[in-house]
Chain A
Amino acid sequence: MLAFVLTLVLLLSIVIVLAYAERKVAAFMQDRLGPTEAGPYGSLQSVLDVLKLLQKEDIVPAAADKSLFKLAPILIFAAVFAGFAVIPFTPDLVPAGIGIGVFYLLAIISLDVVGLLMAGWGSNNKYAMLGAMRSVAQIVSYEIPAGLAILAAVMVCQSLDFQEISYQQGALMNQFPGLEYEMNWLFGIRDLGINTTTIGGITTWNIFRAPILLVAFVIYFIASLAESNRAPFDIPEAESELVAGFHVEYSGFRFAALFLAEYSMMVLVSLVAVILFLGSWNTPLPNIGPVSLAYWTTGTVGELSSILWGGFWLLSKTFVLLFLQLQIRWTYPRLRVDQLMHLCWKVLTPIALAVVLIAGIWRLLMI
């Protein structure tokens, strides 16, 4: 129960920062100032936005399917929020450390799709319907390259447990039960003979210990943009043709819930990318001889220092990815639907299949 409340509070604060960042980043990229009035540098803008949304009247269209319309935002947010249950935030803080976390996350995200269909249908509006259809088609298609990229990382790590994958990517690896005698080698190649188990830092991140995962990371990142309906994959809510996509009829609190779910999805996919490819809560600084930077910036497991350092590294890496997402949104034009499908099926999926094969071979070099 405590984990539930803590995760919710953490998520809400990240989303508020993110909503502010989106306005500011957009403004700076277009040579504007963005919000300046509310608070210093407009920093209270998104808090006030939320307050405004909560005060608004809760409008349910007369011709809408009432029960589905009301249920949909809750289902969408619950599906995304359930994904956070398996995310390890620090070396010893994970809401639910189940052994098949990665698989569970992929499955629970697909509940989101049902919620989107529910919202689109319940609104009884053709823009909403079209938006929901496009969104679902896009999410279902892009789950395949994303899933294959995740599979490549799982094959290298030989685990479906997020926490175990996290421990593997740092100097603390041998402290995880079951991994006491595992070793990390430079680039994952044992024959090079350079043992990086105690060096840690960036040398044990997944993209470094199996460089093929760098390709998998790029594929996953592109696919995750599509899964969270971000530009350049935002045809589901293309403002110029569909008004706002599946949430066009929503207002007030229900709109706030949908908005929150959308930004939570961005945070979730970035967190997963960080955990699977970019070393999770591990520090990027390696131990160099007597200068054990990795240990200094990790803290002792079980004490406050490890919680603070772990949370700091995890969140700062996540924010870098989120910043990249915002930047891409204001850089690239929207893809047409045929380009979208071409990219998914003819470019990303074949490359992802090849990456899975190479990752399997790489794993053989690692042992």
Chain B
Amino acid sequence: MLFYIFAILAILSGAYMVLTRNLLYAGFSLLITLLSVAGIYVLLFADFIAVTQLMVYVGGVLVLILFGIMLSSRVHDKSVMSENVNTVWGTLVAGLILVGLSYSILKANISLLPWLQTIEMDVLGNQKSTVQSIGLKLMTDFVVPFELASLLLLIALMGAAYIATDKQKV
């Protein structure tokens, strides 16, 4: 029941985000989409992913997007409007992807998958959250991707600092 509430909210706000012409409203409806997706993560016992989603997307990316819109739109003193281009091709590609995805989902016999048959319903066991197992995995099985990601972030940080510095004219 809760899942359907979150799913409907996510779909409606996602549709509004795509259809509205006002970029700022699109930003705020993205907020609702992200929150409902976080709710769905919680229902899937992925508490850490849900909170990370809030932390990274709502606290970081969305604020950045809103800041960008607000700083740029004040120049003309009205809300930034988005334009429609490539209407036919866009609809066609999106429709084809929808048909393809629905076809493969309907074709796949999900309830007979072997790992789904043997899975335990008690996902968390006697742990209180998924943090411990995520931490162990990150430090053992996935340590190389983890370190690579941190290296990538460090490079991005240095690049941002370089772009932002005052370059003295020679």
Contacts and interface: CB of A to CB of B under 8 A. Distances in A.
A78 B66 CA distance: 20
Contacts of B66: 114, 117
Given A99-B131, A161-B128, A110 B55 contact: yes
Interface stretch (A101-109, A201-209, A254-262): A101-109
* Interface size band for B: 20 to 34
A156 B67 CA distance: 36
A140 interface: yes
Nearest to A120: B70
B63 A133 contact: no
B9 interface: no
A103 B54 CA distance: 10
Contact of A121 (B24, B55, B60, B131): B24
A151 B59 CA distance: 18
A103 B67 contact: no
A107 B55 contact: yes
Given A99-B131, A160-B131, A161-B128, A110 B47 contact: no
A223 to B, nearest CB: 15
A182 B148 CA distance: 36
Given A114-B62, A117-B70, A161-B128, A100 B54 contact: no
Contact of B54 (A108, A136, A143, A161): A108
Interface residues of A, number: 24
A194 interface: no
A68 B28 CA distance: 9
B51 interface: yes
A235 to B, nearest CB: 17
Given A68-B28, A114-B31, A103 B63 contact: no
B129 to A, nearest CB: 3
Nearest to A100: B129
Interface string B57-77: 011101100110010001000
Nearest to A121: B70
A114 B55 contact: no
Nearest to A113: B63
A16 to B, nearest CB: 30
B16 interface: no
A106 B128 CA distance: 19
Given A108-B54, A110-B59, A117-B63, 17 more contacts: A68-B28, A99-B47, A100-B47, A100-B51, A100-B129, A107-B51, A107-B58, A107-B59, A110-B55, A110-B58, A110-B63, A114-B62, A117-B67, A117-B70, A140-B59, A140-B63, A160-B131
Instruction: Identify the 7 closest CB pairs spanning chains A and B, nearest first.
Output: A110-B59, A99-B129, A99-B128, A107-B54, A107-B55, A107-B51, A100-B129
Interface of B: 24, 28, 31, 47-48, 51-52, 54-55, 58-60, 62-63, 66-67, 70, 74, 127-129, 131
